[in-house]
Chains A and B, each alone.
Chain A
Amino acid sequence: AQSVAQPEDQVNVAEGNPLTVKCTYSVSGNPYLFWYVQYPNRGLQFLLKYITGDNLVKGSYGFEAEFNKSQTSFHLKKPSALVSDSALYFCAVRVSANFNKFYFGSGTKLNVKP
């Protein structure tokens, strides 16, 4: 069965410091992995996706994700956090190559303090 796990409910980081939001996955076959961000009272906004063969994927707003096959991880990173990055972040995996069914992690709340 496909699944993703986000081990941290909350991550706190000071503005200007690097941030990491963790995600591990369990899939059979090739992983189709994604990161989304959600601001209050809004829907999910696509940040980036895993591209087969790339260990470091760049996305929107300066975010990037590091794929590690041996650790089955797809951690979201940013070199320098902004207060405006404070939001809820979700890791997701496409369940099937044939259908649009995704499993989402439980979400990690990122707090960036000035």
Chain B
Amino acid sequence: KAGVTQTPRYLIKTRGQQVTLSCSPISGHRSVSWYQQTPGQGLQFLFEYFSETQRNKGNFPGRFSGRQFSNSRSEMNVSTLELGDSALYLCASSLVDRSGQPPYNSPLHFGNGTRLTVT
């Protein structure tokens, strides 16, 4: 099975621009989560999607948004980029049952991330 695929791997943007990152989950995984990783803050939860609905959101400003498509692929968007948005953005997918509940010991499976640099 192919793993979680994130594109692009690297992005360089300037302040004020916006950016869209893409994630294709493992086949059959219908839950997709996004995390931001920085040296100072570590791994921070952005949001989680299931069945095209955001059902959990971390403590990030509204400039960070996302969506999920009917094939479970997901995108996240960051508008009005700031220098502090420079980070590794990680997408993770997971198995869930029909109601969207994950098996209690089901791990997240991560992609290799998109390295965003804001100048």
Contact = CB atoms under 8 A, between A and B. Distances in A.
Contact of A94 (B50, B55, B104): B104
Classify chain A: how many residues form its interface, as a range.
20 to 34
Contacts of B50: 100
B94 interface: yes
Given A43-B4, A43-B90, A101 B45 contact: yes
Given A32-B105, A34-B107, A94-B104, A100 B33 contact: yes
Given A41-B112, A43-B90, A97 B101 contact: yes
A102 B45 contact: yes
B113 interface: yes
Interface residues of B, number: 29
Contact of B48 (A34, A46, A100): A100
Chain A residues touching B, majority SS: loop
Given A99-B56, A104-B42, A42 B104 contact: no
Given A41-B112, A43-B111, A43-B113, A98 B45 contact: no
Interface of A: 30, 32, 34, 36, 41-46, 49-52, 90, 92, 94, 97-107
